[in-house]
Structure 1
């Protein structure tokens, strides 16, 4: 029997920064709620985006596109974790176990379902859309893997240069956008998947060392920068991807999204005092600990739950109101409640895979194997997020940077990478990674 969430909460040391845990849970919760609200499913099973139906709502993404907050929190946690486990293989296994195990279970279950559906010829309508859509949030897992993999060298740069290391990443992101928009250099924009998100991640290092002393100035600079770039540059208003747009702030990330991340990080740091007081309450802290224990499982399965609700409505002939109409908004609370209930059921089934398995004693051996493993897992998960689970039998592919990748190839890379990371982090021959 594992330790319950309440027991874990009661054992929390006084030195733990509980506000960071609150931010982690809250940011993922906002992402899940945003995905549920943005889905605009019509009576014929087509899935659109509410922000495209009502473009005026795109401005709310400047508050509710909170993925930068999660990556910022990740940087803080990774800095502390690496300093307590400086050996690369052991650090990777410790950080990735609760991430990759539930992800691989999700991939296995949906892969089997997709194969069965396609063999039965039932991959049409909403089902066909679901096979592509449910894999899209895996991009977040892929980016997070890259952050974990690059924590050791980037933490060293931070310890040596402080704000200079962060500034170099910002400058690199700006240079990429200049080459992309001013010089029309092909493929260069994909570099900002690294530069933009790693810059946000680097802010977490700065927070870990108490160097974010002027959050108000950071928020103001980020908000002003994003506003100017959107007003006078080639950047769209929405801070999430929109269907059919020529330029997205998200895929690949842009300098405008980086400025948005600075604004959000500054804003949550300004709220640190009241947030810390809130999470100091025993009842609130117990809920935060419990939510952290299932957060990744809920994130992986929340789109499955949403699509299940819409599929049930269509199958029962209940009909769906036209998106953004008064009837659609009136029905929204019921859809959200049903999606939350179905997500809770899926979490109950799959949550055990998020619990960390008993770890064998780790040695310093296995650094190169761990590096290879996380690289394979990274490209496999990112590839799967782009190609989805549809077209398994037809050999459907998607472009990952400059390489075509199929779903079977992506699954094979992700699985092999996970197994290599697990193997490298276990006890082996003595030595340093």
Structure 2
């Protein structure tokens, strides 16, 4: 009996070395993904067990909404002398106002800021003063960095590259606009010890007087006696308007906000939001619209607090589910990266858009970038520009992130110079010079 036949694999061609001058084969996808996978593993291994991933995830979401909103709802017009000026598609497309309801997530940012602050406050090892000093320094360094850099750039751009003064003023205004948030956040952070006491005594209701304060000011400035009310009265809304969500966050971090409270915030905030829009005639946009006499955000109106209440309720209800999702390392790693670059994103995202718009202005009108934002084509073109802005922000962030780290090698003289440059830039940006 003959032996059974065996099946032999077909011979394969021997690998030949690439001919000289031939293009190299692209690396395999696995090799391209290897650094990403290594980063994901490193982030996961370095995450402390006590880290609240849901709070970090909400903060990252609110952070990314800031550049998204500014890039989508901000545009430029081109004057005959070649200078660019601020414009907004909301002036022509009122139907875009609901987009501002989604992208206006500062209420969420203050909520998670309050929650994270109270967690850090409980874990502090030094004095309250030292704790506050550390947190405020982390907020101040990036702001000082971006304003000092822009102060140095202004004469170079004008005298070296011929950028019109009006373009530089427009750019300076855009750069400094998001920084008001840092000033307000610094104040509410300094109030953390008082917020903790209020939360421990009154729980979720500690934020109610802040809501009432804003409601009273809004009644005075928009009610039947509005003509007799001085314009500066609206400034009284700045602190309670933004402290409202922060106080909710502190109460949440103290464990004094439960699901029943969260449902009340969600439903009550949504009902108040609808009433203010449909009955009391509040502007629909959550951001300022050129040409409109009233604005909701500067200073915050009662509509901002209604939206913050609804968003806060939804965030608290979704906390556990979001925390489970972020147990997946691939979802958690981007959240960590965004949070580590929080102040860089906030301080430099307008610079990223300007890095594309200012050079483009020399070419004339460029769809979606420089030109009146008054057509559907502009909106589609702007959406196409968004990845470019994001790429420029990543590139800028590689160098700008150093401002978030302690300035251990920066002496007093350099710090003083940075302060002088920052002050000069603020004066120019605010139109005082």
TM over 0.5, yes or no?
A: yes
Partner of 1:70: 109
CA distance in 2, matches of 1:344, 1:170: 38
In 2: Cα distance, 1:178 partner to 1:82 partner: 36
Alignment CA distance shift 1:354-1:160 (3 Å): same
Aligned equivalent of 1:430: none
Question: How much has 1:357 moved relative to structure 2?
Answer: 6.0
Q: Does the 8 Å CA contact 1:110/1:389 hold for their aligned counterparts? A: no
Deviation at 1:178, TM superposition (A): 2.4
1:425 is aligned to: none
Return the alpha-carbon distance in structure 2 between the equivalents of residues 42 and 92 of structure 1.
43
State the match for 1:199 in structure 2: 244
Residue 380 (structure 2) pairs with residue 343 (structure 1): no
Whether the 8 Å contact between 1:134 and 1:304 is mirrored in structure 2 is yes
Q: Which 10-residue stretch deviates more, 216-225 or 269-278?
A: 269-278
Residue equivalent to 2:291: 244
User: Shift of the alpha carbon at 1:127?
Assistant: 3.1
- The answer (yes or no) to whether the contact 1:106–1:300 under 8 Å persists in 2 is yes
Question: Which moves more between the two structures, 41-50 or 190-199?
Answer: 41-50
- Greater CA drift, 233-242 or 116-125: 116-125
Residues 114 and 390, structure 1, Cα contact 8 Å, conserved in 2: no
Shift of 1:337: 1.6
Displacement of 1:285: 1.3
Relative to structure 1, the CA distance from residue 188 to residue 329 in structure 2 (aligned partners, 3 Å threshold; closer, same or farther) is closer
Partner secondary structure for residue 87 of structure 2: strand
Relative distance call for 1:126 and 1:115 in structure 2 (3 A) is closer
Q: Structure 1 pair 330/61, CA: closer, same or farther in 2 (3 Å)?
A: closer
Query: After superposition, what is the alpha-carbon deviation per residue over 1:25-44, rounded to whole angstroms, capped at 9, x for unaligned?
Result: 11110111111111222354
State the TM-score, normalized to the length of structure 1. Answer: 0.78
Q: Aligned ranges for residues 303-322 of structure 1 at < 5 Å?
A: 303-317=350-364, 319-320=366-367, 322=372
Q: Counterpart in 2 of 1:97?
A: 137
Aligned to 2:259: 213
Match of 1:401 in 2: none
Contact 2:68 2:103 in 1 (8 A): no
1:80 and 2:126 matched: no
SS at match of 1:30: helix
The aligned counterpart of 2:273 is: 226
Residues 161-210 of structure 1: per-residue CA shift (max 9 Å, x gap): 22332112222222222233334432222111111111111110121123
* CA 1:310–1:118: 2 relative to 1, 3 Å: closer
Deviation at 1:112, TM superposition (A): 1.7
Query: What are structure 2's unaligned runs of at least 5 residues?
Result: 1-38, 409-418
Which residue is equivalent to 1:354? 404
Contact 2:56 2:339 in 1 (8 A): yes
Instruction: Give 3-state SS (helix, strand or coil) of 1:46's partner.
Output: strand
SS in 2 for 1:42: strand
Deviation at 1:5, TM superposition (A): 8.3
Matched, 1:265 2:312: yes
> 5+ residue gaps in structure 1?
359-376, 398-405, 407-433
Q: CA deviation at 1:74?
A: 0.5
Q: Which of residues 19, 23, 36 is equivalent to 2:71? A: 36
Partner Cα distance (1:9, 1:22) in 2: 14
Q: TM-score when scaled to structure 2?
A: 0.78
What secondary structure does 1:238 align onto? Answer: coil
* Number of equivalent positions: 370
Say if 2:57 is the partner of 1:57. Answer: no
SS in 2 for 1:16: coil
Q: What's 1:124 paired with?
A: 165
Which deviations, in whole Å up to 9, do the C-alpha atoms of 1:326-346 show, x marking residues without a partner?
432342243112111111111
Larger Rg: 2
Q: Give a deviation string over 1:32-66, Cα, whole Å, max 9, x none.
A: 11111112223543321111120111122222211
Structure 2 partner of 1:25: 60
Distance 1:384 1:292, change over 3 A: farther
Structure 1 residues 165 and 329: CA distance shift in structure 2, 3 A: closer
Distance 1:135 1:146, change over 3 A: same
Instruction: Give a deviation string over 1:110-147, Cα, whole Å, max 9, x none.
Output: 12223445667744343331122211111111111011
User: Does the residue aligned with 1:251 lie in a helix, a strand or coil?
Assistant: coil
